Amino acid sequence: MSTYVLVHGAWHSGKELDAVAALLRSAGHAAFAPTIRGNDPEDPKTVGLDEAIRSIEAYLVDNCGSDVILVGHSFGGMIITAIADRLRDRVHRLVYWNAFVPNDGESVYDMLPSGYIALFQEIAAQRGDGAVMLPFSLWREAFINDADLDTAKRAYECLNAHPIRTLSDRISLCANVNEVLIPKSYINCTEDTSLPPEHAWHPHLSRKLGLFRLIQVPGSHELCFSDPPRLARAILDAGRD
């Protein structure tokens, strides 16, 4: 039996990964899906990256023991990279699922096209609460393009505003992830168009891992909504020894 900790991306909470966690448990594993500080709808939206990281670090220490397989989706790649740097002895494998792979001193903004940055800053300025929400048109066409419209609408209603500081804050690492002697996997959803080709999840970001196992799976960036069983199978393939 393995222990999986599923770390969600921006605009999500752990609840959106509950169905995937349940499938991992039905396969005989322990699985947890915590919510990053700032992503509960009741949380303040002024949270920065370090506070977001520390919230999952504390959850891991309090609930999960050692030999954990950390799975990070999208923004969650920032979180699992930092935790592996801080709690190296507790992590058995890192699994990046269409996730950002930061080097020391990088932010999410450093890995995004300039058009996204300008859009997010404009939305945050209009809101005035330190948060950014993903427009539905972008969600529908680029993030969940493999789902029917009703599924896309229901999934969008689950999302919540994301603290914009966590996207602009720079990560602080003792070592870049390609130097960390923890096994790594990258799940690439092949119909994911949420980033343009020049910023692509794979191979543009995945290659920063150094040696890694690649798991290719059909689907969009939001496979947790459009096909949870397929995603669960990919996570199990990525997490096995």
pLDDT in tens, 61-93: 999 988 999 999 999 999 999 999 999 999 999
Q: What percentage of the chain carries pLDDT values higher than 90?
A: 98
**Type of residue found at 172:** S
Model confidence, pTM: 0.98
pLDDT in tens, 178-191: 999 999 999 999 99
Pairing of strands 184-189, 30-32: unpaired
Q: Chain-wide mean pLDDT for the chain?
A: 97
Position 65 scores a pLDDT of: 84
Helices (H) and strands (E) in the chain, counts: 9, 8
HSE (CB half, 13 Å, CA atoms) of 11?
16
Taking residues 135-144, report their average pLDDT.
Answer: 98
Which residues are catalytic, by number? Answer: 74
pLDDT in tens, 204-225: 999 999 999 999 999 999 999 9
Taking residues 141-168, report their average pLDDT.
Answer: 98
Q: What is the rounded distance in angstroms from the CA atom of residue 202 to the CA atom of residue 35?
A: 26
Burial of 81 (0-12, 13-18, 19+ CB in 10 A): buried
Q: What is the rounded distance in angstroms from the CA atom of residue 56 to the CA atom of residue 37?
A: 8
Which one of 3.40.30.10, 3.40.50.1820, 2.40.420.20, 3.20.20.70 gives the CATH number of domain 3-239? 3.40.50.1820
Confidence of residue 99 (pLDDT cuts 50, 70, 90): very high
